[in-house]
Each structure stands twice: as structure tokens, then as C-alpha cells.
Structure 1
Amino acid sequence: MVNNTTLDNLFQLVHALKRQLHEYIEQLDLEITPMHVHVIKIINKMTPCTAIDIATVLERDKAQITRLVSTLIEKGFIIKTSNPADKRSSYLCVTDSGMEIIKRLATIDNVMQEKITHNISIDEVALFQQISDKMINNLRDK
């Protein structure tokens, strides 16, 4: 019998969520990964947004973010504009094409939200959010 510890359950949840998101994103035929999707969403929500901002939010190194951003620029989903406050950095903006993707992703987000919370009460969802926030903070504590 498998011992389902909290860590095992969390790993299974994260893996299932990533797998499901990847499947939905593949159906959109965009040739981008869930991490690209996450970056587009961050840029859309955070205005103005720089690559450093994304690296901070995702807790990733700047080189990895630069590669993700470059792919999104090549595909025409985002553009760089000059940062008047700092000539060494650029602001990232979602293009009209990128906004269309965000609209399509909103549908996926709604489906995933309904699927993941099926047969779970509002109180249980709220409790999960509280507990997961605490766990995230515990992992971030040095």
C-alpha cells in the first residue's frame, strides 16, 4: 500500500495540474509551454513590466526569463518598448495577438477552476487557500 504523505499529495496535485494545463494549451496549437503562458499572464497583469519583474515573480534566473520572453516576441505575442526611466531595460507589453491568447486562456482557466474544485465546498476551497499560502510562506522562509 502506498503511503500518501502530505508531500506526496502535493506532488501529485502539482503534477496533475501541470499535465492537464499542458494538454489544454496543446489543444490551442500555440507551440508554447505553460511557463510561456504564465509569463504572458504576468505581463498582462503587471504594467509596466520588465524581464526583471518576471524573474522576481517567478523566482527564476534572468537568463531563463530572457529565453521565454524571446520566444514570445518571436511569436508576436509580446513586444518590447523603451523604458524612459532606465535606458538599459525595456517594458514588455502584450500585443493584440497575445491578448487573443489571454482570452482563450481565460476559458481554460475557468474550465480548470471548475474541474479542480468539483465536489469541494467554498469553505474547503478557502481553507485550502489558507493552508497552501502558509506552506508557500514556509518554503520561502530562510
Structure 2
Amino acid sequence: MFKAINIEATFHLAHAIKQQLNNQLDIQNLGISPMHVRVLKIIGEIPGSTAMDIAALFKRDKAQITRLVNHLIDQELITKKPNPNDKRSQFLELTATGAVLQGKLKALSDKMESRMIEGIKEEDLEIFSQVAQQMKNNLIDRF
């Protein structure tokens, strides 16, 4: 039987996480959005990332990712390097400033996660992760 409460609970959790991240980014006056944070994280964690890679990973329009990337370039947080294997694409890399910011964002994320899981048993968190992954897989595999 379908229970809309499951979907609503998921939406509320996702919204609360995004809202808290927005609040923290505003408090620290970083001038970036949660989507910028996600792009910076990918660029820092996956060497040789391109805008097309990020668009595919996030299942977003390339134009939207290009706007995000250009904003990060304007803020001198990332830079483009030529891709020797494909003259049409460029690798994205963190600048020194971007790497420092990524460290701050990691600390912020760790603090948010610690706060979010307060009072929840480790085994419950493991079950939650497994269930959330299965739900995601069910949607991906069937739609």
C-alpha cells in the first residue's frame, strides 16, 4: 500500500538539509549556493572532471552547469585546464583559494551531519542508508 508519508518525510528531510546549508552559507557570507558546493566537491574529489562529467553526474542541463562553473571561475575558486585528449573540453581544477574554501565547506558539512544524526543509533543510521539507497535504486531502475 502506498504511503505518501514516506515521500513527504523524504522531501522534508531533503528540504531541511538544503535550508540549513543555505543558512550556513549565508552566515559565512561565502557567496555560493548549495549547488556550487556540490560542484566544488566533485571538482576537488574527481581529478580531470569536466563540465560535461558534472552535468551527467548531477543529471542537469550542461548550460546550467556551465553557468555554475563560470561563477566559480569568476570567484577564482576553480580554473580550466586544456584536456589533451579532447580539444573541445577542459578539465576543471580547484585554485588554492578554492581548496581552502573546500576545506571550510567540509568542516561545515561535517558539523551539519554531526548535528543531524545526534541521538540516532549507529545501527539505525546504517539501516537508513541502506533503505535510502534501495529507494533510489528502485526509482532509477523502474522509471
Q: TM-score range by the shorter chain?
A: over 0.9
1:30 and 1:113 mapped to 2: Cα distance? 19
Show the counterpart of 2:93.
Answer: 93
Show the counterpart of 2:43.
Answer: 43
Tell me the secondary structure at the aligned position of residue 133 of structure 1: helix
After the TM superposition, which residues 123-142 of structure 1 pair with which residues of structure 2 at under 5 Å, given as runs?
123-141=123-141, 142=143
Map Cα deviations across residues 21-80 of structure 1 (whole Å, 9 max, x no partner). 111111221211010011000000111100011011111010110000000000000000
Given the two structures, how large is their TM-score scaled by the length of structure 2?
0.94
After the TM superposition, which residues 94-113 of structure 1 pair with which residues of structure 2 at under 5 Å, given as runs?
94-113=94-113
Gaps of 5+ in 2: none
Show the counterpart of 2:62.
Answer: 62
2:75 and 2:67 mapped to 1: Cα distance? 13
4+ runs deviating over 4 angstroms:
none
1:4 and 1:114 mapped to 2: Cα distance? 28
Residue 58 of structure 2 aligns with an amino acid whose one-letter code is L
Gaps of 5+ in 1: none
Count of paired positions: 140
After the TM superposition, which residues 69-88 of structure 1 pair with which residues of structure 2 at under 5 Å, given as runs?
69-88=69-88
After the TM superposition, which residues 19-30 of structure 1 pair with which residues of structure 2 at under 5 Å, given as runs?
19-30=19-30
2:85 and 2:28 mapped to 1: Cα distance? 37
Given the two structures, how large is their TM-score scaled by the length of structure 1?
0.95
Residue 9 (1) aligns with residue 3 (2): no
Tell me the secondary structure at the aligned position of residue 81 of structure 2: strand
